[in-house]
Amino acid sequence: MTPSPSVPASGGTALRRLLQALESTVLGQPQVVADLVTAFLARGHVLLEGVPGVAKTLTARSMASALGLDFTRVQFTPDLMPSDILGTNVFRPQDNAFQLVKGPVFTEVLVADEINRTPPKTQAALLEAMEERQVTIDGTTHALPPHFFVVATQNPLELEGTYPLPEAQLDRFLMRVRVGYPPPEAELDMVRGFHQRGGKAAQVERVLEASTLLELQTRASSVACDESVLAYAVRLIRETRANPRVRLGASPRSAQALLAAAKARAALNGGDFVTPDDVKAVCPSVLNHRLLLKAEAEVEGLTADDVLRQTLERVQVPR
């Protein structure tokens, strides 16, 4: 295997600064932070799932601030319409012409807060934006910024007033990241900091320049991957389809997403090439929202995360 050029020392330093800045604000959630940065390096989008009050929105806002990107937050509600997100053409009598009034989607980091509190029709308004980084309004296509990055938050479906995301919408997210409660010491530090700041939220300073972002993303996509590791990723995907508890396994596009995330994780760790450990590290977050279990498996309490743990145990790791 011929390794590609690794992230340079300056790039590695920049990524370390980014991780440190986020971990100093989003306390006790190093895995969440790593997954979020991994998804950005891979040019993917992230769905943060957790109960209210575990700093999902703070995590997204801190990421935008650290990257120095424009940030827009949209609170998804049952009465939110697609035009409220995309924008609409408004007639200007003085000009005798229509003028586009852009919606909040025209930003660099879009935080779709509580995305599962709005009906599927409005959720679907983001499909084109997330897949192609463009939106079409009244037949005219409008490009979005090159760093367009969606961080959606979602409350567990068992909470009242939520709508399940359609499979097509879920597939647009590179990762679904579970955000749980922080450990006791981190929670104490969080409350102490809140008290010392006089009740104000923690702030993150910009640590990266726009030119650095593009360089880091480009280098992450060019990280080398041996044929044996490619085959390992595909075996993991195919094993999910062979599992008798799974109604719909991971698709070939899921394999591409797994590889992109693994390459980004390798770059984040300063590696020159993808290792099986990189694949295993990102596998749960990349695939847990792409599997549909059979009804009997759900009745037994089995989850997609359980299936993925079994899959990682069963599939032989290349040497």
pLDDT at 6 over 60: no
Contacts of 81 (CB under 8 A, 6+ apart): 122
CATH of the domain at 76: 3.40.50.300
Q: Which of 188, 218, 248 is the last residue of a domain?
A: 218
**Parallel, antiparallel or unpaired: strands 134-137 and 140-143:** antiparallel
Range 193-207 average pLDDT? 86
Distance CA 154, CA 115 (A): 6
User: Residues 95, 197: one domain?
Assistant: yes
Q: Provide the domain count of the chain.
A: 2
Range 5-22 average pLDDT? 70
Tokens of 225: 């991957």
pLDDT at 312 over 80: yes
Distance CA 275, CA 282 (A): 12
DSSP assignment letter at 245: T
Structure pTM? 0.89
Tokens of 194: 């809140």
User: Residues 227, 202: one domain?
Assistant: no
Q: What is the pLDDT of residues 19-55, one digit of tens each?
A: 999 999 999 999 999 999 999 999 999 999 988 888 8
Tell me, what amino acid is at 85?
A: I
Tokens of 213: 């972002």
CATH of the domain at 282: 1.10.8.80
Element (H, E) at 143: strand 140-143
Q: Which domain holds residue 12?
A: 1-218
C-beta atoms surrounding 177 within 10 Å: 27
User: Residues 58, 179: one domain?
Assistant: yes
Residue 159 pLDDT grade (very low, low, confident, very high; cuts 50, 70, 90): low
Q: What is the pLDDT of residues 205-254, one digit of tens each?
A: 888 887 789 889 999 999 999 999 999 999 999 999 999 999 999 999 99
Residue 10 pLDDT grade (very low, low, confident, very high; cuts 50, 70, 90): very low
Q: What is the pLDDT of residues 271-302, one digit of tens each?
A: 999 999 999 999 999 999 999 999 999 999 99
Rg of the chain over all Cα atoms, to the nearest angstrom? 20
Chain Cα centroid distance, residue 172: 9
User: Residues 15, 123: one domain?
Assistant: yes
Residues linked to residue 75 through DSSP beta bridges, in sequence order: 113
